[in-house]
Structure 1
């Protein structure tokens, strides 16, 4: 296993900010304590062994699970032998009822067809072409925050608004058929409802047995469906009249598999639009929220960021290549608080990972939340140190030790879109305002609700620059 990646020589460990997180457990929880804890907050169930051992295999409530934190063995699971591992039933039971059978949940040939069809939509050239729209959303966000000079804002809510603005400017350029704030609230309600892991899902109880979370999520899921149906109907009419804008929605509706010429079915189109709205915007909003929280507690990092954006910006906005430190801040925020805290796969056939045999049907897990804080891979892993992602320090990070967007065939198709969006929005924010955590504010703790978010939102004081 790789040795810890060293921090730049100038890094002052003692003065770096270490965000509060649930402490690792000394021993695994018993069955009933585990079921209660995993429903409340799954990231609070990891033990000390998980953060120090390259492999941990154990029998528990969900059967045999092997957690892999060795980068070379992660490569084996997610890349070299990916065909032997499919998404496990628990993930599909939690996500599919709301997100449908899009890229996030589809399997087999259905997934391969969707991936081939959608890949050109997220090409580097296409994503770079959205920089102007993202800069426009960033400028709007900066003006909104600056008007709150001397006050405060729920940063989590503001980042949700901003990322929905980006979606409207890049995917739905003729406008959303609903108030974006209402859509944002529906996304939050949906993830809050389906996020807690239901014991019925842990034990594999058939899907026809009602789950409380899914019952609570139904109104939000119906709202998504109505919004998406109207979006598709409007856009198809514009395409028929040859008046449709060339945004991501038009590209999605017109997309064809390069191998077969086959387009996506209506259900596949709807599932992927819902995925882009619910999952795509949520991960970026959370990355920005955690980045701003860490910057509010690290004056030196915040000052370095402000100096960079003051030197790099123009009237037209920013370019990502001029913002290496802003990008490093986002990457470090996603290291500490990865958008997807764990990836789980089910073995289709027997395998061997190092010294451990993986039985057919058992679950193999890669947990970015654990991996990114693993004490054998990272020096001072609990500290917020953006410099890890600059220059030679960035080059020294093992490829499969840092997985904010997954890896292998199922790596997030929108990762370049999300990273570009987050960096540009952060630059506009840093040029306009500075944030501080109000005195006496309780610790900000991460809670896993599909994604990682602050447990009670994040209200920061605002000072206009």
Structure 2
């Protein structure tokens, strides 16, 4: 008899049994797009639908996803609605640039984010995680309730600032995470005018007030660039060779424009830490509801730290920690949708002979949110089961079945960076502390730019009761 406890099933919208009306679609997309999808999106390999007379195909079949994002990628451009939302914020940053601008930027930044280079950030990630963990040191065994969602945003921003900008990002006050949340709340969501394909000059009433916080971020970027450029001009030998310096060195007719550099700095400052922060918070929440998983993780963390292993090796040495983070990204993908539009007619034939026709202009949705919870591709898809991602089980997961970082040429450039950062942060935090839910911990996933908990994520943090002193 299997005596293991039932896996935890975290909160998520139930699939819709009936399609919403046009008015209900607008309301749901504005409130929370994750609540829009019906049973077909979670059970069929692909399904067609219509939004305001526009044909849309939702694709979940891994082979078809590969076709769209890799094999015939030249036929698919960013969808109009995605760009209407994000380009006003990020302009020609890496997430929103297209064509030769994107290719030039991607090529320029690639050396910073190679796996080898990312490993070089491990010591800084560890130092910032340990420094952050000190804030909980006086909590005692009774602990204190904190908003883990906000705390993880502060931690990942501290890591990003130190590793990519040598701690020299100009910020205003101590409300950075709140400013990011306001930016996403005001600007990083769908407005009814976007659904109706109104041109950019038509006012978006839901984004009133967003320009002020965007201007604040743009000013932050300008000051950060100016201070570093001044240092590069006056004392080039003292300048850290980090991401910021690299970008500024690329300015010129054969590299990036000053505006493009600013757009990419804003992209990384505003959004580069946001995805990892949300995934860390969801991981701590799910682990708190899964005692056996937490036991495996704590044993692994204590053992590896006692061995003296360097942080650069933790990603490979801690399969349970890594698996818990990957499973949290499966259930709560940081980027819940990937939107494309077909440039020309396209056809794909499945191994079983089924033919899919995608017409020119058709919107194509590859949605990690539905794909990662799909009944055709996952056993108990709504349950938190990190063992899926342990080394002995990984071969059962198809490459295009799991897309926390996207796929193809536009795969997240910082994927290795984020994975290493997450394992180091979880190791430091869980080695010293326990994170537990309270009666107020009732997170509900909401899609803004990322998958985040509505109204935050209050959790009790308390000192771990261990037989030995913390190693770090």
TM-score tier after normalising by the smaller chain length? over 0.9
Name whichever of 247-256 and 308-317 sits farther off.
Answer: 308-317
Equivalent residue number for residue 67 of structure 1: 58
Q: CA separation in 2, counterparts of 1:199 and 1:55? A: 26
Q: Conserved in 1, the CA contact under 8 Å of 2:441 and 2:458?
A: no
Q: CA separation in 2, counterparts of 1:180 and 1:451? A: 24
SS in structure 1 of the partner of residue 17 of structure 2: coil
Q: CA separation in 2, counterparts of 1:142 and 1:29? A: 45
The answer as to 2:455 corresponding to 1:462 is no
Q: CA separation in 2, counterparts of 1:180 and 1:123? A: 33
Q: CA separation in 1, counterparts of 2:53 and 2:336? A: 17
Equivalent residue number for residue 467 of structure 2: none
Q: CA separation in 2, counterparts of 1:341 and 1:270? A: 26
Name whichever of 127-136 and 231-240 sits farther off.
Answer: 231-240
**Superposed counterparts of 1:56-95, under 5 Å:** 56-61=47-52, 63-95=54-86
The answer as to 2:106 corresponding to 1:106 is no
SS in structure 2 of the partner of residue 379 of structure 1: coil
What is the aligned counterpart of 1:36 among 16, 27, 43? 27
Closer, same or farther: CA 343–180 of 1 in aligned 2, 3 Å: farther
Closer, same or farther: CA 231–433 of 1 in aligned 2, 3 Å: same
**Superposed counterparts of 1:45-444, under 5 Å:** 45-61=36-52, 63-149=54-140, 150-179=143-172, 181-240=174-233, 241-242=235-236, 243-255=238-250, 262-313=254-305, 318=311, 319-354=314-349, 355-438=355-438, 440-441=439-440, 443-444=442-443
* Per-residue deviation, 1:10: 7.7
Count of residue correspondences: 452
Closer, same or farther: CA 348–53 of 1 in aligned 2, 3 Å: same
- Give the TM-score, by structure 1 length: 0.94
SS in structure 1 of the partner of residue 246 of structure 2: helix
* Per-residue deviation, 1:145: 2.2
Q: CA separation in 2, counterparts of 1:381 and 1:326? A: 20
* Per-residue deviation, 1:66: 0.3
SS in structure 1 of the partner of residue 339 of structure 2: strand
Please list every run of at least 4 consecutive aligned residues from structure 1 whose deviation after the TM superposition is greater than 4 angstroms.
9-12, 314-317
SS in structure 2 of the partner of residue 461 of structure 1: strand
Q: CA separation in 1, counterparts of 2:107 and 2:455? A: 39
Closer, same or farther: CA 174–54 of 1 in aligned 2, 3 Å: closer
Closer, same or farther: CA 373–11 of 1 in aligned 2, 3 Å: farther
- Give the TM-score, by structure 2 length: 0.92
Q: Conserved in 2, the CA contact under 8 Å of 1:58 and 1:65?
A: yes
Q: CA separation in 2, counterparts of 1:42 and 1:63? A: 17
* Per-residue deviation, 1:229: 0.4
* Per-residue deviation, 1:236: 0.9
| Structure 1 portions without partners, runs of 5+ | 1-8
Equivalent residue number for residue 19 of structure 1: 10
The Cα offsets for residues 64-88 of structure 1, whole Å up to 9 and x where unpaired, read as 1000000000000000000000111
SS in structure 1 of the partner of residue 334 of structure 2: coil
